[in-house]
Amino acid sequence: MPLVEINFDGIVGPTHNYAGLSLGNLASARNAGAVAHPRAAALQGIEKMRSNLALGLAQGILLPHRRPNETWLARLGATVESADPTLLANACSASPMWAANAATVSPAPDTGDGRCHLTVANLATMPHRSHEWPETLAQLRLAFADSRHFAVHDPVPPPFGDEGAANHMRLTASHGAPGIEVFVYGKAGGAFPARQHAQASAAVARLHRLDPARVMLVQQSEEAIAAGAFHNDVVAVANEGVLFTHEQAFADSQGFYADLRAKLPEVQIVEVPASRISLEAAIRSYLFNAQLVTLPEGGMALVLPTDAKEVPGVWGWLEEMIAGNGPIRRLVPVDVRQSMANGGGPACLRLRVVADSATIDPRFLVDAEKLDRVAAVIAAEWPEDVTPADLASSLFRTPALAARKALLQLLALQELI
């Protein structure tokens, strides 16, 4: 069977809320304390997946984690009842919905043993995300259990922060050909932390047995991090032989481009000039936090948030780009406003895996009919409204746990309960 690109989207969990936990994520800070709508958020994610299926793309899912994370609280000497509001908010975060941070993925054509390698991200920089990896690892080891085709690695140990695929890009002549894997790390970002450590990126490249000649470690610009690009996928995205990026995404853009062209002469670089779209506008619109995908009929489409239409100058530039007959031929806006309000666009919600779908546990793969059944559970079980204050109430937590259990039972994934 041929290798295909499969996008694994994180289903938004029933404790989705706006607690403002993510330093450097401007949307998260801006909406702290607001009323969140978990049911609407999850259904928006389902509709995004339906849109991708309609484009002819393969689609998978990753599941919400158990929240609150009582095991993590216990290791801190706390319980759900005794934890202060901030600690409880960290234990209840629905951030596993952003599957781009689940792991870094290297497909079989790139690796020394001809298997697809996945290293679960440690997410060590942010407390609310640092306890995700054990449950993420459990899901990855189920979904990609066939050791003939996959190698699933434990996280890089702290203190080297690793944020997964959100700081990783792969460029290649085609999905079946060996690729150039670009690991983007940060050093500083003004008042905000740089979340991806260069040592973590280098470690993942070694664990995946990548050819050093086909690996690039590239520094994200301090300006981008300071402006709110806490992950590289907020200012750049790549697919096959195309890099779509903001002019100020990297510390040394021209040096990076030159090195990339030397390794992949056919690469097409679509750079958005800062004179047309500022870093502030790029981050507010999340036009780069998009899924750049190859369509079955040929050509590429950019699956991007509807919010990109609302930031002055952004949509007009995108239409000019499409009219210019470049490699990106189609714009596909999707409504993921509930995720966007916490700082996660279409690309944040998915982990891209290039593999033979027949080698993956089918419980993690979806079609339109399965999405209908998932949506029915969400519509019946997910809470409609949540505030950070609700997290302390057993009247909220008990139904939220039951909602997650109902979804896992539907998908015959009881071992994750």
Q: Do residues 93 and 129 make contact, with C-beta atoms less than 8 angstroms apart?
A: yes
Q: For the chain, first and last CA: distance in Å?
A: 32
Beta bridge partners of residue 346, listed in sequence order: none
**Which whole number is the average pLDDT over 369-374?**
98
Encode pLDDT of 407-417 as tens digits. Answer: 999 999 999 98
Across the chain, mean pLDDT equals 97
Beta bridge partners of residue 180, listed in sequence order: 171
| β-pair type (291-294, 300-305) | antiparallel
* Closest to 103 (Cα-Cα) out of 44, 158, 62: 62
Q: What is the pLDDT of residue 174?
A: 81
Tally of domains within the chain:
1
Encode pLDDT of 119-168 as tens digits. Answer: 999 999 999 999 999 999 999 999 999 999 999 999 999 999 999 999 99
Q: What is the pLDDT of residue 170?
A: 98
Q: If DSSP codes are grouped into helix, strand and coil, which group holds residue 240?
A: coil
Q: What is the pLDDT of residue 180?
A: 98
Q: Which residues are catalytic?
A: 163, 231, 348
**Which whole number is the average pLDDT over 245-263?**
98
* Closest to 281 (Cα-Cα) out of 246, 325, 250: 246
Q: What is the pLDDT of residue 176?
A: 81
- Regarding predicted confidence, which is higher, 23 or 352? 352
Which residue has 């999905």 as its token pair?
A: 175
Per the structure, the complete domain to which residue 167 belongs is given by: 4-416
Encode pLDDT of 161-218 as tens digits. Answer: 999 999 999 999 887 899 999 999 999 889 999 999 999 999 999 999 999 999 999 9
Rounded Cα distance, 33 and 97, in Å: 19
Q: What is the pLDDT of residue 175?
A: 73
Q: What is the pLDDT of residue 232?
A: 96
Report residue 1's pLDDT band, with 50, 70 and 90 as the boundaries: low
> Phi and psi for 343 in degrees, rounded to 5?
90, 30
Rounded Cα distance, 125 and 102, in Å: 14
Q: What is the pLDDT of residue 266?
A: 96
**Which whole number is the average pLDDT over 21-47?**
95
Burial code of 17-30, b = ≥16 C-beta within 10 A, e = fewer? bbbbbbebbbbbee
Cis peptide before 68 (omega within 30 of 0): yes
Rounded Cα distance, 7 and 150, in Å: 16
Rounded Cα distance, 179 and 374, in Å: 35
Rounded Cα distance, 66 and 138, in Å: 12
pTM listed for this prediction: 0.97
Q: What is the pLDDT of residue 288?
A: 98
Encode pLDDT of 306-346 as tens digits. Answer: 999 999 999 999 999 999 989 999 999 999 999 999 999 99
All residues at 6 or more sequence positions from 201 whose CB lies less than 8 Å from its CB, including other chains: 162, 167, 168, 183, 184, 185, 217
Any idea what the CATH number is for the domain that residue 201 is in? 3.75.10.20
| β-pair type (180-185, 168-171) | antiparallel
Q: Do residues 12 and 379 make contact, with C-beta atoms less than 8 angstroms apart?
A: no
Burial code of 284-294, b = ≥16 C-beta within 10 A, e = fewer? bbbbbbbbbbb
Other beta carbons within 10 angstroms of residue 31's beta carbon come to 18
